[in-house]
Amino acid sequence: MTTDWRAWVPDIAAATIVAFLGLYEAATAWVLPTSRIELVFVAIGTAVAVGLSRRLPAAALGLVWAVCGLQVLLGIDLMLVQLTIAAVAFGTARWGSAATVWLSALSIPVAAMIVTVFVNSRGLGGLADLAGNESLVDTVRELSTTWQLTGAIIGMAALGAPWLAGLALRFGDRARVSKASQEAAEEDAARAVRETEQAREIARLREEQARLANDVHDVVGHSLAVILAQAESAQYLDDTDPKALKETMAKIATSARTSLRDVRQVLADTRQPAAQPGGLGTLIDGIRASGHEVVSTEIGTPRPLPPELDVVAFRVLQEMLTNAIKHGRRDSPVYVEQHWEGELRIEVRNVVAPSPFAPASGGGGAGLDGMRRRLESVGGRLDVRRRDEEGGTTFTATAWVPVRASGA
């Protein structure tokens, strides 16, 4: 509440000053006591209107019209203090609503005409005394034929000048607010662009991180599965055959070196890494070298693939073979089929060990999810099925890789 009253202090001060000047004018005017009371009414009404012109411009305009209307009806003389109505004209244009601005604009010429008619019929009254020579002023009024027009123009100028000043400040404020809003909008847009770029960069880094994790998972998982298979096969070698044992250990060392090389290549290359030399055949040969029987079938004419598709096909087959030797039975072969008809279809089938490998619904762990994401990124798809057959439970993983000509 205290803050509200403090906001009104300038308005109250202005009204007090106008009231003091008006009461002084009424007290010093050469009029009858009854007319003096009427002048006090005009002075107080004008002061209140000036005090309301900033906070309640519409009410101030209405009060001015009420006071002036009663002044015309009762024949009250004009007062010099009424020149402060210019402050009301300024306030209505500066702080009033759109309707108040239009009404105040229309009020200026109407008020000028009313005052001209009023002076023409009643004279200047007390204002003639203030001019210094009442008879001279009245003589000019009676003899001149253009004084009404001149007076109307002067009156309109007296009210129109502050009204225009208020309107100019009003539009100046709007321009500043509009400019500030525009700058704020531009700043918000720039911030949104920065945030979008940051989000894209974060998404790119996360995608790169996921790709890197998938690559490391595929390389390390495959190599460890091959090394484990080779190490297990070494347990069945004859102790009297050191040559076979050395060959097995050499294969393990070769697999380890290959895995280490692939991991280094994955970590060093921020772009999509290239597949190993030799293509898909090297993966099948590596599984055979570990002691697993692999039955490989190729249907159709193989075609060179673009690097990104070659990598996907290589990594997907790598993960399929890894799962086959990790979860398959060693006494059953791994069947690998490659169909080059329209698109490359890779199918790996093996008999699974008694412990379940994957649910029939096609879900799975990180390996299956990684294969699925890789294939979907190039427009391919993955299907995994578990079947109970005569020879045991089989697990079949099928991947479709779209075939495009290299460089297309």
Kindly report, residue by residue over 178-203, the tens digit of the pLDDT.
888 888 888 888 888 888 887 887 77
**What gap in Å lies between CA 142 and CA 122, rounded to an integer?**
11
Q: Please, which pLDDT band fits residue 92 given cuts at 50, 70 and 90? A: very high
Q: Mention every residue, 6+ apart, whose C-beta is less than 8 A from residue 170.
A: 93, 94, 95, 101
**What gap in Å lies between CA 328 and CA 248, rounded to an integer?**
21
**What gap in Å lies between CA 344 and CA 316, rounded to an integer?**
12
Tokens found for residue 356: 């379940």
What angle separates helix 85-95 from helix 33-52, to the nearest 10 degrees? 20
**What gap in Å lies between CA 77 and CA 118, rounded to an integer?**
9
Q: Which amino acid, one-letter code, is at 97?
A: S
Q: What pLDDT score was predicted for residue 3?
A: 53
Element (H, E) at 282: helix 280-289
**What gap in Å lies between CA 274 and CA 204, rounded to an integer?**
20
Give percent above pLDDT 90 in the chain.
19
Residue appearing with tokens 């305009």: 61
**What gap in Å lies between CA 403 and CA 408, rounded to an integer?**
10
Element (H, E) at 87: helix 85-95
Q: What pLDDT score was predicted for residue 359?
A: 42
Element (H, E) at 69: helix 57-74
The side-by-side arrangement of strands in the sheet containing 381-389 is: 294-300, 334-341, 343-351, 392-401, 381-389
**Contact indicator for 40, 93 with CB cutoff of 8 Å:** no
For residue 21, pLDDT beyond 90: yes
Q: What pLDDT score was predicted for residue 269?
A: 61
- Sequence-separated contacts (24+) of 270-273 with Cβ below 8 Å: 270/208, 272/211, 272/307, 272/308, 272/311, 273/215, 273/311
Give percent above pLDDT 70 in the chain.
76
* Domains within the chain, CATH numbers bracketed: 2-144 (no CATH), 202-401 (3.30.565.10)
Q: Mention every residue, 6+ apart, whose C-beta is less than 8 A from residue 246.
A: none
CA atoms within 13 A on the CB side of 265: 14
Per-residue pLDDT reduced to its tens digit, 356-381:
444 433 445 567 888 888 888 888 89
Strand, coil or helix: 348: strand
Q: What pLDDT score was predicted for residue 329?
A: 82
